[in-house]
Amino acid sequence: ATLSVATAGAVPPSTEMVPFDEIEVVEPGQGSPCSFAITIHHEGTFITTTFFNRDGVPIRRLLRSGGHFTETYSANGRSLRTVSPVPAHIDLITGEIVATGNQRHVIAPGVGPVYAQAGRYVLDPSTGEITSFSGLNIPPGDELCAALSP
């Protein structure tokens, strides 16, 4: 007996690598927990894989880092760096975005984690805001500010 796999008309996933290099300045009162601005440098490569249904319509996308995506938080001549390998799963039909894994672990020497997120996040596709979260969450606060203070 033989089994045949129906592959006629199947559309294979497409994959692309996209370099990403962005500098963001977060001002006090607009996201910075500190009395000073924090500069965040996001840098790395994203690998985007798009999956299609049998009619060739894109139905979901997997976005992951190319092995080494970093975020560097800087202020007052000091910086803290973290690796952010978290993958994101995007449902192209409903728009739901789910990220799972380690988003960031910003470690201050001699202190430990001063900003960390790891777990499962659901994001609003129109705003990018987290609508649901479970896992580790250490929000940026006084310890991050102290580590970046002069």
Distance separating alpha carbons of residues 40 and 30, to the nearest angstrom: 14
Q: Give the Cα separation of 39 and 80 in Å (integer).
A: 11
What is the rounded distance in angstroms from the CA atom of residue 17 to the CA atom of residue 97?
A: 19
pLDDT digits (tens, 9 = 90+) for 121-148: 898 888 878 899 999 999 999 999 999 9
Q: Say yes or no to pLDDT of 3 above 80.
A: no
**Per-residue pLDDT tens for 6-45?**
455 678 999 999 899 999 999 998 888 999 999 999 999 9
Q: How far apart are CA 105 and CA 47, in angstroms?
A: 21
pLDDT at position 89, please?
94
Q: Which contiguous run of DSSP H or E holds residue 107?
A: strand 97-108
